[in-house]
């Protein structure tokens, strides 16, 4: 098998316990804490870090009988769309090694797509589960904010990120979701589920009569091949009895700008702890703490992380916070309200997961803005705290996999599993 650089750390197989995930192998994204196993966030800053505890989701998958086979490669601290910002090098797309696997959970998606693991755990701050799922031709679920515990997740942007499953089928993704959901007293953002129904019970359920809205803002500007595949998927949904119609969500035009201001601002705060004293590599101490702090961060962080820290710090600085950060928070509230209004008329919202085909290696980083704009269809979901699923669609034989995204109301993952399993290509 071609080495696609899915794993940062490989773990020796151990005999698992009985449970709903017994017999499943799983790749865990490298920003999720694993006791006694390196957890690096794809960064030189944490290349030697070994957590003394397991994240809550890791405790749950172990108790369910899953076998962790490795820590999956990722963009450094989750900041990227291609895994090319990883200190350990990019993950290659299993379908075409000249293309990226997507990011930031590229290693998790590629390991599932290539058969190296049966399941993957990823994290999604602005599309980091759904993007690589689309680019690698697998299923990825971004849960409602608060549905899955974030305890043990090394933070990038606390108000946006969620841990979620990646799998080859909707049923397998639902099986993993059933295991990892639930309230956690160690995470103040986690919530109690109102329903105790298993998500797997909704796999294959009929979707006739369900209304699907397609925002014009999320299909404008998409590649022609992506649009053609999306229209084929929507035709299939209509044949199954769904009502598909165009809707408009004007606030989405502000989503990318608002997302990056909020995410970068939170990142600048979260990553301040990596100073060579509390966390991270140290440049040594020669009596000048300020110099040590500066040199440690210069050596420990890659260029994309430093770019986002600088922009986030600027957005939060005196005289600029109201101009940027406060406006971004208002846009976030506007986006959330428009989604709520839309869900009073439709059961779910559909769009291409990514408006572009998988990038060639090195293509996107010639123009960082192009990479940021590629997140246009995924970041609104995180701003609104909603659940979403990416399903493989008809792929381009030349240019690689294409994903279809369904977005649902808060805590309505079961609707997405119904829709996803209906459109799933067998």
Please tell me the predicted confidence (pLDDT) of residue 7: 83
Please tell me the predicted confidence (pLDDT) of residue 45: 97
Residue 298 class from Cβ within 10 Å (0-12 exposed, 13-18 middle, 19+ buried)? exposed
- Which whole number is the average pLDDT over 370-385? 93
308 vs 76: CA distance, rounded Å: 11
Q: Is the pLDDT of residue 1 over 50?
A: no
For 73-114, how does the pLDDT look when each residue is reduced to its tens digit (9 = 90+)?
999 999 999 999 999 999 999 999 999 999 999 999 999 999
- Which whole number is the average pLDDT over 148-174? 98
Please tell me the predicted confidence (pLDDT) of residue 214: 98
142 vs 391: CA distance, rounded Å: 12
Provide, rounded to the nearest whole percent, the portion of the chain with pLDDT above 70.
Answer: 97
291 vs 14: CA distance, rounded Å: 45
Residue 39 class from Cβ within 10 Å (0-12 exposed, 13-18 middle, 19+ buried)? buried
- Helices and strands in the chain: count of H runs, count of E runs: 12, 13
For residue 65, give Cα distances in angstroms to 15, 26, 283, 333, 407: 9, 10, 42, 40, 30
**Mean pLDDT across the chain, nearest whole number?**
93
Beta strand residue intervals within 268-367, DSSP E: 348-352
The pair of structure tokens assigned to 266 is 């939170």
Contact by Cβ (8 Å): 351, 215:
yes
Write out the catalytic residue numbers: 29, 104, 128
Q: How far apart are the first and last CA of the chain?
A: 24
Q: Is the pLDDT of residue 3 over 70?
A: no
Q: How confident is the model at residue 364 (pLDDT cuts 50, 70, 90)?
A: confident
- Sketch out the chain's domains with CATH numbers: 7-236+348-423 (3.90.1300.10), 253-331 (no CATH)
- Hey, what's the torsion of the CAs at 399, 119, 73, 141, to 10 degrees? 70
Please tell me the predicted confidence (pLDDT) of residue 195: 72
Do strands 388-392 and 403-407 pair parallel, antiparallel, or not at all (unpaired)? Answer: antiparallel
399 vs 219: CA distance, rounded Å: 19
Q: How confident is the model at residue 14 (pLDDT cuts 50, 70, 90)?
A: low
Q: Is the pLDDT of residue 12 over 70?
A: no
Please tell me the predicted confidence (pLDDT) of residue 31: 98
- Which whole number is the average pLDDT over 206-235? 95
- Which whole number is the average pLDDT over 61-74? 97
For 287-324, how does the pLDDT look when each residue is reduced to its tens digit (9 = 90+)?
788 888 888 999 999 999 999 999 999 999 988 899 99
Please tell me the predicted confidence (pLDDT) of residue 10: 78
Q: Is the pLDDT of residue 194 over 80?
A: no
Q: Which residue has the tokens 């269809």?
A: 377
Please tell me the predicted confidence (pLDDT) of residue 361: 94
Please tell me the predicted confidence (pLDDT) of residue 76: 98
Q: Is the pLDDT of residue 13 over 80?
A: no
Contact by Cβ (8 Å): 294, 282:
no
Listed range (49-53, 76-80, 287-291, 358-362) with the worst mean pLDDT: 287-291
Please tell me the predicted confidence (pLDDT) of residue 340: 97
Q: Is the pLDDT of residue 15 over 70?
A: no
For 337-357, how does the pLDDT look when each residue is reduced to its tens digit (9 = 90+)?
999 999 999 999 999 999 999
Q: Is the pLDDT of residue 415 over 70?
A: yes
403 vs 176: CA distance, rounded Å: 20
Q: Is the pLDDT of residue 40 over 70?
A: yes
Please tell me the predicted confidence (pLDDT) of residue 2: 47
Listed range (86-90, 105-109, 195-199, 402-406) with the worst mean pLDDT: 195-199
For 240-250, how does the pLDDT look when each residue is reduced to its tens digit (9 = 90+)?
999 999 999 99
Beta strand residue intervals within 137-220, DSSP E: 139-142, 162-167, 211-215
């Amino acid at each position: 098998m071609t080495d696609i650089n899915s794993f940062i750390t490989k773990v020796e197989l151990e005999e698992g316990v009985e449970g709903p995930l017994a017999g499943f192998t799983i790749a865990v994204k490298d920003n999720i804490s694993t006791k006694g196993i390196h957890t690096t966030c794809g960064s030189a800053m944490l290349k030697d870090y070994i957590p003394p505890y397991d994240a809550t989701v890791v405790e749950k998958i172990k108790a369910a009988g899953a076998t962790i086979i490795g820590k999956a490669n990722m963009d450094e601290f989750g900041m990227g769309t291609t895994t090319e910002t990883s200190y350990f090098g990019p993950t290659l797309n299993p379908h075409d090694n000249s293309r990226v696997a997507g990011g930031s959970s590229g290693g998790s998606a590629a390991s599932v797509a290539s058969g190296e693991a049966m399941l993957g755990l990823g994290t999604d701050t602005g599309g980091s589960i759904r993007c690589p799922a689309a680019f690698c031709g697998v299923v990825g679920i971004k849960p409602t904010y608060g549905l899955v515990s974030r305890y043990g997740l090394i933070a990038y942007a606390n108000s946006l990120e969620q841990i979620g499953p990646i799998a080859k089928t909707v049923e397998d993704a639902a099986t993993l979701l059933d295991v990892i959901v639930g309230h956690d007293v160690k995470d103040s953002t986690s919530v109690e589920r109102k329903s105790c129904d298993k998500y797997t019970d909704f796999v294959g359920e009929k979707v006739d009569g369900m209304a699907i809205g397609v925002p014009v803002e999320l299909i404008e500007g998409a590649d022609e091949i992506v649009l053609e595949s999306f229209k084929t998927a929507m035709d299939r949904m209509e044949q199954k009895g769904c009502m598909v119609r165009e809707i408009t969500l004007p606030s989405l035009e502000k989503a990318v700008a608002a997302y990056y201001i909020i995410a970068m601002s939170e990142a600048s705060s979260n990553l301040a702890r990596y100073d060579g004293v509390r966390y991270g590599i140290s440049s040594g101490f020669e009596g000048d703490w300020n110099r040590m702090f500066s040199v440690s961060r210069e050596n420990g962080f890659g260029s994309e992380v430093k770019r986002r820290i600088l922009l986030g710090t600027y957005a939060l600085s005196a005289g600029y916070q109201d101009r940027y950060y406060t406006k971004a928070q208002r846009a976030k509230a506007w986006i959330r309200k428009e989604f709520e209004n839309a869900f009073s008329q439709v059961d779910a919202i559909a769009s291409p997961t990514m408006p572009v085909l998988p990038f060639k290696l090195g293509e996107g980083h010639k123009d960082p803005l192009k990479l940021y704009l590629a997140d246009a269809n995924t970041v609104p979901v995180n701003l609104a705290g909603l659940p979403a699923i990416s399903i493989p669609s008809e792929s381009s034989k030349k240019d690689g996999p294409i994903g279809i995204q369904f977005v649902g109301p808060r805590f309505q993952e079961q609707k997405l599993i119904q829709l996803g399993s209906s459109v799933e290509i067998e």
